Amino acid sequence: MTHIENLRIILRDGMYAPNVRKYPEYINIGDETLIEQRREFQVPIAPGGVLADYVPFYFGGHSPMLLNIKTGHRGIRLREQREIVFVCTHIDIVTQACPEFCFTDGHAKDRLTSYFNNLVDLGKLDWRAVELTYWTSTEEEPDNMRRKQAEFLVKSHVPLSCLSGIIVLDDIAAQAVDTIMKETGTSMPVHIDYKRKYYYND
């Protein structure tokens, strides 16, 4: 999940972890405090390092982060969902090209979260929570929000060849992505989220 303008970088260079390569023009969309904390938070499993050494992917849509961006909650800069795109990959493809990876069963900085580096452990994620549209924790499921935010983390760099598509909010965003692709001389499938499987309803 990234700002649409960052595609000008991604479609040229692939996706670099924040600690590996910095771009002055890159637009951060999340909680600045959390972004800084990820530069120091140790990954407790091989291949090690800190969270900012990794390119992060969510496993699904409707993330709490996107809702905060949509509403401006917690002091995060308010943006239209149209400005945000989902850059996608397939686990089998990215792990063949990028053997240094790990993943979590919840928010990467939460003390309750477990880390894994073997794909056989994907079954340990709470896929029910990952796929929730409304993820507020309840008396019956008090851990929904943490589990919803499970991440797949690829160390250092994800090459452009590993990216399989881009999900956008609507036709206007799709046209903007098409323009960026023409400017960068690249091509990739663009999927419009008509059924709101990734974005929130307005």
Secondary structure (DSSP) of 30-54: S-HHHHHHHTTPBPSSTT-SBGGGE
Catalytic residue, candidates 38, 74, 128, 141: 38
Is-catalytic flag, 8? no
Catalytic residue, candidates 146, 151, 183, 196: 151
Q: Using CB atoms within 10 A of its CB, is residue 41 exposed (0-12), middle (13-18) or buried (19+)? A: middle
The tokens for 71 are: 């509403």
Is-catalytic flag, 79? no
DSSP character at residue 151: E
Instruction: Compute how many other C-beta atoms are within 10 angstroms of the C-beta atom of residue 68.
Output: 18
189-195: long-range contacts, CB 8 A cutoff, minimum separation 24? 189/164, 189/165, 190/165, 190/166, 191/165, 191/166, 191/167, 192/167, 192/168, 193/61, 193/167, 193/168, 193/169
Helical H segments across 43-143, by residue range: 64-71, 91-97, 127-130
Catalytic residues: 38, 151
